[in-house]
Amino acid sequence: MATVPLRIDILTIFPRMLDGILGESMIKRAQAAGLVQIRCVNLRDYATGVHLSTDDRPYGGGPGMVMTPEPVFRAVEALRGPDTQVLLMTPQGTPFKQAVALDLSRQSHLLILCGHYEGVDERIREALVDREISIGDYVLTNGVIAAAVVSDAVVRLLPGALGGAGAADDESFTTGRLEYPQYTRPPVFRGMSVPEILLSGNHGEIAKWRLQQSMARTQARRPDLGG
Q: How far is the CB of 94 from ligand ADE (least distance, A)?
A: 10
Which part of the chain contacts ligand ADE (CB under 6 A), choosing from 8-16, 25-33, 140-148, 213-221? 140-148
For 74, residues 6+ apart whose C-beta sits below 8 A from its C-beta are: 46
Residue 95, number of CB atoms within 10 A of its CB:
10
Binding characters for ligand ADE, 33-62, by CB under 6 A (x = yes): ------------------------------
User: Nearest to residue 96, comparing CAs of 151, 48, 135, 143?
Assistant: 135
Choosing from 140, 148, 158, 168, the residue that interacts with ligand ADE (CB under 6 A) is: 140
Is the separation of the CB atoms in 66 and 118 below 8 Å? yes
Question: Which residue's CB is nearer to ligand ADE, number 89 or number 101?
Answer: 89
Question: Which residue's CB is nearer to ligand ADE, number 40 or number 146?
Answer: 146
The Cα 8–Cα 86 span in angstroms is: 10
**151 binding ligand ADE? (CB under 6 A):** no
Site for ligand ADE in 79-108 (CB under 6 A): 89-91
3-state secondary structure of 154: helix
**64 binding ligand ADE? (CB under 6 A):** no
**66 binding ligand ADE? (CB under 6 A):** no
Question: Which residue's CB is nearer to ligand ADE, number 45 or number 118?
Answer: 118
User: Nearest to residue 171, comparing CAs of 150, 198, 186, 153?
Assistant: 153
The Cα 29–Cα 124 span in angstroms is: 34
Binding residues for ligand ADE, rule: CB under 6 A, are 89-91, 115, 134-136, 138-140, 143, 146
